[in-house]
Structure 1
Amino acid sequence: MTRIVILGGGPGGYEAALVAASLGATVTVIDSDGIGGACVLTDCVPSKTLIATSETMTNFAMAPALGVRPHGDPGAETGSWELTSRPHLTPPEVVTVDPEQVNERVRTLARAQSADIERRLEREGVEVVHGTGRLVGPPDRLVGPHAVESSDGETFVSDVVLVATGASAREISGCEPDGERILTWRHLYELKEIPEHLVVVGSGVTGAEFASAYRALGAEVTLVSSRECVLPAEDPDAAQVIEDVFVRRGIQVLNRSRAASVHRIGDGVLVELTDGRTVTGSHALMAVGSVPRTTGLGLSEVGVRLGSGGHVVVDRMSRTSVPGMYAAGDCTGVLPLASVAAMQGRIAMWHALGEAVTPLRLGTVSSNIFTEPEIATVGVTQRMKDSGVIAAEVTTVPLMRNPRAKMMGIADGFVKLFCRPGSGSVLGGVIVAPRASELILSISLAVENGLTVDQVARTFSIYPSLSGSITEAARVLRPRDLFAGFETPA
């Protein structure tokens, strides 16, 4: 029977544990944060729960355009309550947010999810040890068994070790969080009030998501971006849509602006920019990335190779430089997504336990940014096409011409589809729309299974539906189709 020790109980760790247990291994998970890890307790699950509340506020703000007005609303007769003309999405006298109740719900759901996962592990026979662990043994150890020592002094001897310790928020000198006014995203769920004016430093995924959410919840928001646009690493057309929406909804976007320092000033904060300008607010959110949690684990001492940023170097089978030792999740720096961490963990266990396994394919990974609207992507990107890395044909179908979008009052967004010239194989796609995270699956299936635009174009879509724009895009890329480019009833 194979003995396996897993350091970290996040998606990479607990999914690996479930696979290993199902294959008959003896599994111990050593975790210091709570099963589910930061993903469940402080990051992904809490943030998306908060965003679910902000989406409700956005829906309230859009209601008048659909003919729905609160009783007694002064704009009912004048038609003045419009999304584009109010500094706040929803007037506080009509709909209010109870921040303490919102955050209590966030914390409760996170704790419940963590408890559910731990019970599942226990049912499958996985031993859960609460504490920290580190690798011990001679520096020249190149073969198992491996020894892992927990923080309470117990030593676990194992044939296989998986490191899945995740990452933590990056801190910048001069901008250190204090947990009260200068915050990381992990402090947000303890707030007793919605920030009056939130200054978000960082315009990547985390910064954009929280800027979008807190604006919908009623906060004034200033977004400080060191790059030329919001979401600089994303599809440029998608990023432009989000930035346009942000500006229209009253978010002040400061592009090409880098924070030099953040200080407390009474009941607020002062953000000093490198060009000498200053921004004041009630709170500052530092959303400047994360760093792998790999220090103090004894990795270098046993020969595990680390990258320049401190991440564990792995191959597509999740193997480290030491036989019998694997790594998964954000500590590897491969792609900071819970789905990728989980797949890395599963691949590691399948490989270690002799199962047939396919190496990790990042080209088929779908991802989503939970702004309003959302951005979902999979496969080939616009930058890859434009740089000549891959030959591709592309088309973009604006949502404003989609019948269902018109009925729902949706004006922002699009479906973009990439295919291989000649064969028409679907290579990737981008969707900017409400619940794009749900719509992207059909394109992901096409990419994963090598479907052609012809096959997608011939697939029935509901009429009317937002997903109809996916089949429309496929018809545009299939010029032989007599009805290419038209949204027709299915």
Structure 2
Amino acid sequence: MASFDLDLFVIGGGSAGVRAARMAAQRGARVALAEAADLGGTCVNVGCIPKKLYSYAAHFADDFRDAAGFGWHVGETRFDWDVLKANRAAEIQRLNGVYQNLLVSAGVRILTGWATLCDAHTVQVSTATGEERFTAKHILVATGGRPSVPQFPGSEFVLTSDSMFDLEPFPKRLLVVGGGYIACEFASIFNGLGARVTQLYRGEQVLRGFDDDVRQHVAQEMRKQGVDLRTKLDVASIEKADGALLVKLIDGSTVEAGTVLYATGRVPNVAGLGLEAVGVAQGKDGAVKVDDAYRSSVASVYAAGDVIARVQLTPVALGEAMVIVDHLFGEGRRTLGYEFIPTAVFTHPNIGTVGFTEAQAREKFGEVKVFRSEFKPLMHTLSGSGERTLMKLVVDAKSDRVVGLHMVGADAGEVVQGFAVAMKAGATKAVFDSTVGIHPTAAEEFVTMREPVVA
């Protein structure tokens, strides 16, 4: 029997990598983890956490305005970009330390450097002090994803989402290119913080893949908030002019901006890992192909998280990591289902969604019933804000099961998380109808919608 230095070598210290390494070590496995950047990956450093903190910051502008309708006299306000950046950086540094302590306390050896596969059981790590080689019975590739920017004249002038948290100075005129959740979130955030934001998307409507009513509603609300959202447009070229960026569009018009953010997609972070040389099969954009146990075409090599490009969400990466650990060092019974995964988009207002869109449900189930409600939230009856909330249920007519639940409104993610449990358990519309609502809340609308929308 072959003898290895380690039971598991993890490449990548993001959500999937840290979870797998820690849990495997806690089960007695000999584990090492290599990460070239800060621990925590995209989510902790340049994704979910800092993005949500900046979203909170942006909401205060609305809060100050809304307070007047409730009798509060708010004096002059001033936003300090440098204070926000410093406080965010301190919190992220604290979280980096938390991740390191979790790994060390579990017994994981942490290597700071770039790891490359040499063969099916060997990894070489390039560190500040030189090269080290390790053999491992199992190798997990959990290197996440990276932003992708198309090549066009002037593309060297654009930034990606990774660079948005430490911009200097604050971008007073921001052009956001893209229509996915990252583009929409940053457009909302910087609009709320005081930037003049233009957003371009080449498609008919933003947030492709979300329910059509959600897409239309959030686009309408973002425009009401002040985002200059333009669809069916794209960038032709960018050039520097008088200290600014002159962006020429495909229709011949121009937009002047201080900063251009390209948020047109992310691809698996696989360059320089040695996957091809070892024979690991890859799909679109280099995504590692895996089976139900997350094993690649090379039996000893596994992959999880954004690098396999299934569902690019942190909780999904954590779930995939737990399946791998159970498969390698447990009973092998754990699985992860990809249906009814809830998600939130931190636009202003927020989106929360779980299950099928109306179009997907009609294709899968045939006859469906749709329940939809749009209203002004109680808070805004006094605030003077024109923001409106959308709630929608999609029901399989044959089984009465609620198969889609969608919300655009304040704290949508918090609301939808609870309903996701019920939907995962197979709750029917009759169960929703028999549930007593909490009054007065927006969430109660999900259990009081009685009349379906006429097709």
Query: What is the TM-score with the length of structure 1 in the denominator?
Result: 0.85
Tell me the equivalent position of 1:290: 266
Cα shift at 1:21: 1.8
Aligned residue type for 1:219 = A
Give the unaligned 5+ runs of structure 2: none
Does residue 414 of structure 2 align to residue 432 of structure 1?
no
Does residue 353 of structure 2 align to residue 377 of structure 1?
yes
Q: In structure 2, what is the Cα distance between the partners aligned to 1:175 and 1:399?
A: 45
Tell me the equivalent position of 1:99: 81
Tell me the equivalent position of 1:34: 38
Give the unaligned 5+ runs of structure 1: 72-93, 478-490
- Match of 2:339, SS state, is helix
| Contact persistence 2:340–2:355 (CA under 8 A) | yes
Count of equivalent residues: 444
Instruction: Give CA deviations for 1:148-170 in whole Å, capped at 9, x if unaligned.
Output: 11113211111111101011111
Aligned residue type for 2:140 = L
- Match of 1:309, SS state, is helix
For the structure 1 residues 407 and 160, does the alpha-carbon distance in structure 2 shift closer, same or farther, using more than 3 Å as the test?
Answer: farther
Aligned residue type for 1:427 = V
Instruction: Give CA deviations for 1:393-432 in whole Å, capped at 9, x if unaligned.
Output: 22112243x6577577674122211222243222221111
The 10-residue stretch of structure 1 (452-461 or 151-160) with the greater mean CA deviation from structure 2: 452-461
For the structure 1 residues 59 and 177, does the alpha-carbon distance in structure 2 shift closer, same or farther, using more than 3 Å as the test?
Answer: farther
Instruction: Give CA deviations for 1:328-348 in whole Å, capped at 9, x if unaligned.
Output: 111111111111111111111
Tell me the equivalent position of 2:132: 154
For the structure 1 residues 378 and 176, does the alpha-carbon distance in structure 2 shift closer, same or farther, using more than 3 Å as the test?
Answer: farther
Tell me the equivalent position of 1:8: 12
Q: In structure 1, what is the Cα distance between the partners aligned to 2:338 and 2:380?
A: 31
Does residue 24 of structure 2 align to residue 48 of structure 1?
no
Tell me the equivalent position of 2:118: 136
**Mapping 1:157-196, distance limit 5 Å:** 157-174=135-152, 182-196=158-172
The 10-residue stretch of structure 1 (391-400 or 224-233) with the greater mean CA deviation from structure 2: 391-400
Q: In structure 2, what is the Cα distance between the partners aligned to 1:389 and 1:210?
A: 35
Does residue 320 of structure 2 align to residue 344 of structure 1?
yes
Q: In structure 1, what is the Cα distance between the partners aligned to 2:238 and 2:362?
A: 38
Instruction: Give CA deviations for 1:200-255 in whole Å, capped at 9, x if unaligned.
Output: 11121111101111111111111111111222332111111111122222221221
The 10-residue stretch of structure 1 (288-297 or 208-217) with the greater mean CA deviation from structure 2: 288-297
Tell me the equivalent position of 1:279: 255
Does residue 277 of structure 2 align to residue 301 of structure 1?
yes
Q: Could you tell me the percent identity over the aligned residues?
A: 29
The 10-residue stretch of structure 1 (423-432 or 197-206) with the greater mean CA deviation from structure 2: 423-432
Tell me the equivalent position of 1:484: none
| Contact persistence 1:426–1:446 (CA under 8 A) | no
Q: In structure 1, what is the Cα distance between the partners aligned to 2:131 and 2:159?
A: 34
For the structure 1 residues 406 and 458, does the alpha-carbon distance in structure 2 shift closer, same or farther, using more than 3 Å as the test?
Answer: farther
Q: In structure 1, what is the Cα distance between the partners aligned to 2:296 and 2:59?
A: 41
Q: In structure 2, what is the Cα distance between the partners aligned to 1:261 and 1:363?
A: 40
Cα shift at 1:386: 3.9
Cα shift at 1:368: 0.8
Instruction: Give CA deviations for 1:48-82 in whole Å, capped at 9, x if unaligned.
Output: 111110012222232234443325xxxxxxxxxxx
Aligned residue type for 2:145 = A
Q: In structure 1, what is the Cα distance between the partners aligned to 2:201 and 2:131?
A: 46
Q: In structure 1, what is the Cα distance between the partners aligned to 2:202 and 2:413?
A: 27
| Contact persistence 2:280–2:296 (CA under 8 A) | yes
Q: In structure 2, what is the Cα distance between the partners aligned to 1:220 and 1:405?
A: 24
- Match of 2:206, SS state, is coil
Q: In structure 1, what is the Cα distance between the partners aligned to 2:43 and 2:11?
A: 15
- Match of 2:251, SS state, is coil
Cα shift at 1:302: 1.6
Tell me the equivalent position of 2:109: 127
Cα shift at 1:10: 0.3
- Match of 2:117, SS state, is strand
- Match of 2:284, SS state, is coil
Q: In structure 1, what is the Cα distance between the partners aligned to 2:302 and 2:169?
A: 43
Query: What is the TM-score with the length of structure 2 in the denominator?
Result: 0.92
Instruction: Give CA deviations for 1:351-372 in whole Å, capped at 9, x if unaligned.
Output: 1224243432111211111001
Instruction: Give CA deviations for 1:235-279 in whole Å, capped at 9, x if unaligned.
Output: 111111111122222221221001122222232111121222211
Cα shift at 1:308: 2.7
Q: In structure 2, what is the Cα distance between the partners aligned to 1:43 and 1:244?
A: 25
For the structure 1 residues 349 and 391, does the alpha-carbon distance in structure 2 shift closer, same or farther, using more than 3 Å as the test?
Answer: farther
Aligned residue type for 1:148 = V
| Contact persistence 1:384–1:390 (CA under 8 A) | no
Tell me the equivalent position of 1:81: none
